[in-house]
Every structure is written in structure tokens, then in C-alpha cells.
Amino acid sequence: MSPIRQMLSESGLTEQQWRVLRVLNEHGALEPSQLSKHAALLLPSQTRIVQSMAQKGFVVRREHPNDRRRTVIEITDMGQAIINDNAAKAAEIAAQIRDKLGPRRFETLLDILDDLRDLE
């Protein structure tokens, strides 16, 4: 992740904040519990992360229409801009890693990690 972190530091984002933006960009607005699954964050961490991202204007929180315990988290135009600025470079970095490891080994790694997650 080191090259990714280096890229993000220029936008003032952490690796986790970047993951939140990417998930919201891909899935649209999400409730906290859904977001936490896709972004691989525990809810307490995510709460803090989303709070600071909301303060900086990268996301907004709306009321959930049916359930007042929940909220809905949505990416802003400013968050979108960050995605647009970094998506290409991030994809390139990921491709480099995949190629260095070998595409076959890379797929195998993802498979095994999936299995590991399901073990618990």
C-alpha cells in the first residue's frame, strides 16, 4: 500500500478514507453497516472516519427515510473530484503489483483471502 498512501497524502487522504470514497462511488449512498462491510472497517473506526470526512466536505450524511436509527452516507462532488483525480493512477499501481506478483498468483491470493474471511 505504500505507493497508494504516497499518492493519497497529496490529497490529504488516508488509505481508509480513500476506501470509503471508492465504495460510495461504486455503490452509491449507503447506510453505515453496509459501508463498513464493503470498506472492511469496523463501525467505531468508520464513525470517526466518516465524521472527519464530512467535516472536510468529502461526504454528507442524510436521514434514513424509514428508520431513524440509521443514516445514509453519500459522496459529494468534492469527493467525486478526488476519485477522478486519482482513479487512473491507483489502477496503474494495482496493475504493477499484480504484474510483479504474477497474474496467476495474484488471483490465487484473492481466492485464499476470501476463504480465510469465511473461516471465522
Interface with a copy of itself by CB under 8 A: which range of 6-14, 46-54, 85-93, 106-114?
A: 106-114
Asked whether 4 and 18 are in contact (CB, 8 A), the reply is yes
List the beta strands (DSSP E) in the chain.
Answer: 59-63, 71-75
Give the nearest distance from C-beta 12 to DNA in angstroms: 9
Q: From the CB of 23, what's the least distance to a copy of itself, in Å?
A: 23
Distance CA 49, CA 85 (A): 21
d(CA 116, CA 102): 21
CB-nearer residue toward DNA: 31 or 74: 31
Residues binding DNA (CB under 7 A): 1-2, 5, 14, 16-17, 31-33, 41-52, 61, 66-71
